[in-house]
Structure 1
Amino acid sequence: MSTMVAPPQNLQLQSPLMRLPAEIKHIIHGYCFEIDQTIVDPVVGSGARAEEPPLLSIPLLQTCRLVYHQADRRAMYSRNIFRFTTVDRARCFFASIGNTYSTCVQDIEIDARRLHGDHPGTSREWLNYLAWGHGTWAKILGSLHVDARGLKCLRINFESWPLIPIPRAELWDLLRAMLLKLEGLERIVVIGASKGLSMEKRDPWSPVHFVGGDDVGADDLVERMWRAVGESEHSKVIRWTRADGKLNLEVVTKAYLSKNLDDSWVGPSMRKRHTDKWPANGTCTWFAYQHRNSDLIEPTTKDINPSAAG
Structure 2
Amino acid sequence: MTAILIVPSENIQDQSPLLRLPNEIKHMIFRYCFATEETIVDAIVGSSRPEGEKALTLGVSLLRTCRRVYHEADRRPLYAQNIFRFTSVDRVRCFFNSLDGTYSTSVHDIEIDARRVHSKHPGIAREWLHYLAWSGGTWANVLESFQADAPHLKCLRLNFESWPFISVSRPELWNFLRTLLMQVEGLERIMVIGASKGAGMARREPWSPVHFVGGDDVGSDDLVQRMWAAVGKPGDSSKIIRWSRGHGKIQLEVVSVPYLTSKVDKSWNGPTARKSQTEAWPENGSCTWKAYTHRHSSVPAYSIKDVNHSVSG
Contact 1:133/1:139, CA 8 A, preserved across alignment: no
- Partner-residue secondary structure (3-state), 1:97: coil
Q: Could you tell me whether the CA contact under 8 Å between 1:233 and 1:286 is conserved in 2?
A: no
List 4+ stretches of structure 1 deviating above 6 A.
none
Query: Which AA in structure 1 matches 2:6?
Result: V
- Deviation per residue, 1:174-205 (Å, 9 max, x gap): 00001112101000000001111110100000
Structure 1 residue 147 and structure 2 residue 162: aligned?
Answer: no
Amino acid at match of 1:39: I
Tell me if the contact between 2:133 and 2:183 (Cα under 8 Å) persists in the aligned partners.
yes
Q: Report deviation, 1:142.
A: 1.6
Task: Supply the AA of the counterpart residue of 2:288.
Answer: T
Contact 2:45 2:98 in 1 (8 A): yes
Aligned positions, number: 299
Instruction: Tell me the residue number matched to 1:27.
Output: 28
Larger proportion of helix: 1
Equivalent position of 2:139 in the other structure? 137
Secondary structure, aligned partner of 2:207 = coil
Q: TM-score, normalised by structure 2?
A: 0.90
Corresponding position of 1:188: 190
After superposition, the Cα gap between the structure-2 partners of 1:276 and 1:300, relative to the gap in structure 1 and judged at 3 Å, is closer
1:126 equivalenced with 2:128 (yes/no): yes
Distance 1:118 1:164 in 2: 11
Relative to structure 2, which stretch is displaced further, 5-14 or 94-103?
Answer: 5-14
The aligned residue for residue 91 of structure 1 is 93
Identity of aligned residues (%): 61
Deviations 1:84-134 (A, max 9, x none): 000011011101102110000011000111100000000000000111133
1:255 aligns to what? 258
CA RMSD of aligned residues (A): 2.2
Contact 2:163 2:212 in 1 (8 A): yes
- 1:287 match: 290
Which has the larger displacement, 55-64 or 184-193? 55-64
The gaps in structure 1 that reach 5 residues or longer are 48-53, 306-310
Instruction: Give CA deviations for 1:21-49 in whole Å, capped at 9, x if unaligned.
Output: 322221110111111211100123479xx
Matched, 1:271 2:274: yes
What corresponds to 2:199 in structure 1? 197
Bigger CA drift: 296-305 or 141-150? 296-305
What do the CA deviations read for 1:226-284 (whole angstroms, capped 9, x no partner)? 00001554310000000101100000011121122221111001222211111111000
In 1, the alpha carbon distance for the partners of 2:26 and 2:135 equals 38
The residue number in structure 2 matching 1:51 is none
SS in 2 for 1:241: strand
Instruction: Tell me by how many angstroms 1:298 deviates.
Output: 6.2
Structure 1 residue 19: deviation in Å?
2.5
1:78 corresponds to: 80
1:44 corresponds to: 45
Cα deviations by residue, 1:118-166 (Å, 9 ceiling, x for unpaired): 0000000000011113333235532211101111000000011010000
TM superposition score normalised by structure 1: 0.90
| Aligned counterparts of 1:198 and 1:290: Cα–Cα separation in 2 | 23
SS in 2 for 1:35: coil
Q: Within 5 Å, which residues of 2 pair with 1:161-176?
A: 161-176=163-178
Give the match for residue 112 of structure 2.
Answer: 110
Offset of 1:60 from its aligned partner? Answer: 1.5
1:246 corresponds, among 245, 249, 260, to 249
The change in CA–CA distance for 1:46 and 1:59 in structure 2 (over 3 A counts) is closer
Determine helix, strand or coil for the equivalent of 2:225: helix
